[in-house]
């Protein structure tokens, strides 16, 4: 083996390279944050539609508009709509998605949990907060729970549901399943 002409510089580079590899190894094994949707962990976004329009340049925030039988899929989330708009960060991560339909639908199936489904004329998904806002004829099914209202706000992380009707509208409808426990 040929000795390094600048042994001190080579030793420093080896230590830095080893430290960097150790850090990268730890980062690669890090678990995803708890209570976060799989979609928020920078999964690729797959969209199918009849038409597509993008506003914004690479490396800057952009708005992407899809129309005609739209299906948007990222991680554990799938949204079906007549029209959808996504807002992406400069790095290409999903910030929010709005979908319109007659009605629009979403399904989210987190690992080891029952699927949550929603239907409304408009669905707004805020990836930063992991929330859904369903507006107009909104229906949310979470496992065996069923909520129907004009507007439903659902926080996936905290499992919080807020539902409301238009002033003068019908009442909010919710079905909460009983937990039947036989008596000993």
Taking only the tens place, the pLDDT of each residue in 49-85 is 999 888 766 666 678 899 999 999 998 999 999 999 9
CA dihedral 112, 117, 122, 128 (to 10 degrees): -10
Determine the Cα angle at 18 with ends 15 and 24, to 5°. 140
pLDDT digit string (tens) for 113-154? 889 999 999 999 998 899 999 999 999 998 888 999 999 999
d(CA 26, CA 33): 15
């Amino acid at each position: 083996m040929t000795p390094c002409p600048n042994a001190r510089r080579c030793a420093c580079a080896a230590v830095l390279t080893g430290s960097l590899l150790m850090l990268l190894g730890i980062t690669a094994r890090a678990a995803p944050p708890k209570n976060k949707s799989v979609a928020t962990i920078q999964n690729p976004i797959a969209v199918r539609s009849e038409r597509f329009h993008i506003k914004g340049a690479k490396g800057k925030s952009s708005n992407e508009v899809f129309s005609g039988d739209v299906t948007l899929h990222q991680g554990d989330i799938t949204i079906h709509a007549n029209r959808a708009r996504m807002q992406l960060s400069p790095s290409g991560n999903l910030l929010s998605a709005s979908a319109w339909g007659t009605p629009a639908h979403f399904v989210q199936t987190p690992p080891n949990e029952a699927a949550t489904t929603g239907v409304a004329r408009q669905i707004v998904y805020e990836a930063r907060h992991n929330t859904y806002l369903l507006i107009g004829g909104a229906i949310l099914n979470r496992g065996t729970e069923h909520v129907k209202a004009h507007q439903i706000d659902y926080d996936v992380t905290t499992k919080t549901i807020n539902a409301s009707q238009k002033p003068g509208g019908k009442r909010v409808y919710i079905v909460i399943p009983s937990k039947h426990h036989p008596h000993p």
